[in-house]
Chain A
């Protein structure tokens, strides 16, 4: 275990800034870096590993300044998205490569490799070359190579990207146990929000080389700091509807198809502002026409999505609203229906800046805040 600090790191390629951030990772923490491709996640990992150098800023591992230390002396372990196995070496030699540099005895190396191979269930294919391994075995070999030296800092660059859905799911359940047994500080890169939520103590969301939000999985899912973040978490994606809040007798409200939807906690400060209302599909249910606040819609289509059923509905103004429910629960008939929105689970974003607006906090003050 160790800590990692990135202080004012800047990296440019051909005059373009691809990374500009500071980041602190605690001892033994599992931090997930999440963001679309091109966000700079892989660049960040490489900077930490030491195979590329930052243009500005310092990299501290365990409190020690490692910025000018070569990759082979940083003592980190890394698994690559494309596995990056050595094609001319057997699985055994691939894994052992992380030990040979330290001049261990032959027996110690063999014992170390065997142990991690058993843990990852690849002990029966150690003599195979990468070409003869299945995708899942390749991925496990790459992981074993990163783990074998028990590095205090582990960098995992989307290690499950290139394996099939079933293996990915199995590894998602297996990895927490494996990593906990290692006791390493872990930085894990992924583009899959489920993986991020399942594996991270905290998630750092990156866009365009910048850190946009960092917090626990629940924080980010429940209170995404920006529209773009809200859109990336959740399957099916969050419903986003343009609204202009109005003044009501008990606080602000938004109007959807002529129905008033309360915006709890918001006062007059947001009235008349262009906003985007975000409601996750699982926070909308079908209800009776007579229910208070029922929004009239037409049911367009239903699609099964894994363990859920997703219904596409259209409002009178042909705005799309997705509703999801656990598979097996009875759904609505095609045609007219009514929706109930759980108003406590709604999110309100400023349309201009895309930033989340928090209740009982003057909007003007938030605008002054630095990014």
Chain B
């Protein structure tokens, strides 16, 4: 590091503070909202002085939503469970399929391998709505709409390309000589994959898995169209707070806080892997 003058230090501090405020403000605001009633949220002028209440969280957990028009049943906890289930299983399936495929693409260049890999990536480019219409028709015809199986299948469109491309970059980064050395030492290609390639690509696989999890968790459109209330994840479930008697800002805020907590916690925990994995994938991909 260059030695800094005091002025530089101050300027740098101000710049950093501005950036932090800009990115953190909405999160802090939502967090505060989740402890307020609709009245305190909507009062004019707004104020950050209020008596905190746990009603919003209580309503979400018990599933009883009090509105001016009476009590409404909401399935938020069920939605949360759906989110966890769908995301975890989708990522697990995507890892099981994507990691070996990534290895194949990294190590065996065959005619058309680049094209196939790119085609898989291009699923990420297509606007989901474009895919959704025909998909809905197929799924109804196959009896897959409104099933966990069908949703997990569709979630592969989100997870698989991500895992494939990030992990492939990682595999390509492992020196071929290291794998050759293990083969020559008398081990089969499969045990080389298991004992050498997998552990060495570990951080990349973890990063890709995490990222895929976050993307799956945040998905809205696929679940909105292909799942009915009992299979919906939180992203769609939050719509229930837009009721006939108005929008329940407090509950929405609480729901958001609850639903982003897992991904936030995961992301913070694995920050290092994420940055490493992503920058590598980006460069190598």
Binding site for B on A (CB under 8 A): 46, 49-51, 70-78, 80, 82, 84-88, 97-98, 100-102, 145, 149
The 4 nearest A-B residue pairs measured at CB: A101-B186, A84-B177, A98-B185, A71-B183
Contact A86 B178 (CB under 8 A): yes
The reply to whether B183 and A84 form a contact with Cβ atoms under 8 Å apart is: no
**B residues near A86, Cβ cutoff 8 Å:** 178, 181-182, 196
Q: How far is the CB of B195 from chain A (nearest CB, A)?
A: 8
Question: Could you list some 26 contacts between A and B, CB below 8 A?
Answer: A46-B180, A49-B184, A50-B183, A71-B184, A72-B183, A72-B184, A73-B186, A75-B186, A77-B184, A78-B180, A78-B181, A78-B184, A80-B180, A82-B177, A84-B178, A85-B181, A86-B178, A87-B178, A87-B200, A88-B199, A88-B200, A97-B185, A101-B191, A102-B186, A145-B181, A149-B186
Bound form: Cα–Cα A67–B180 in Å? 17
Known A77-B184, A98-B186; 13 more pairs at CB < 8 Å: A46-B180, A49-B180, A80-B180, A80-B181, A84-B175, A85-B178, A87-B178, A87-B200, A97-B182, A101-B185, A102-B186, A145-B185, A149-B186
Residues of B within 8 A of A149 (CB): 185-186
Main secondary structure on chain A at its contact with chain B? Answer: loop
- Compute how far the CA of A86 lies from the CA of B179 in the bound complex, rounded to whole angstroms: 9
Judge whether B187 is part of the interface by a CB distance below 8 angstroms.
Answer: yes
Verify A51–B187 contact, CB threshold 8 A: no
Q: How far is A112 from B12 in the complex, measured between Cα atoms in Å?
A: 59
CB atoms of A84 and B181 under 8 A apart: yes
Give A72's nearest chain B residue, CB to CB.
B186
How long is the Cα–Cα vector from A256 to B184 in the complex, in angstroms? 56
In the docked arrangement, what's the CA distance between A106 and B247, Å? 68
Give, as a whole number of angstroms, the nearest-CB distance from A14 to chain B. 11
**Is A71 in contact with B180, judged by CB distance below 8 angstroms?**
yes
Q: What are the interface flags for B105-146 relative to A under an 8 Å C-beta threshold, 1 for contact and 0 otherwise?
A: 000000000000000000000000000000000000000000
CB distance from A112 to the nearest CB of B (A): 13
Chain B residues whose CB sits within 8 angstroms of the CB of A46 once the complex forms: 180
**Is B188 an interface residue, CB under 8 A from the partner?**
yes
Q: How far is the CB of B56 from chain A (nearest CB, A)?
A: 47
A87 to B173, CA, bound (A): 13
- Which of B159-200 touch A at CB < 8 Å? 175, 177-178, 180-189, 191, 196, 199-200
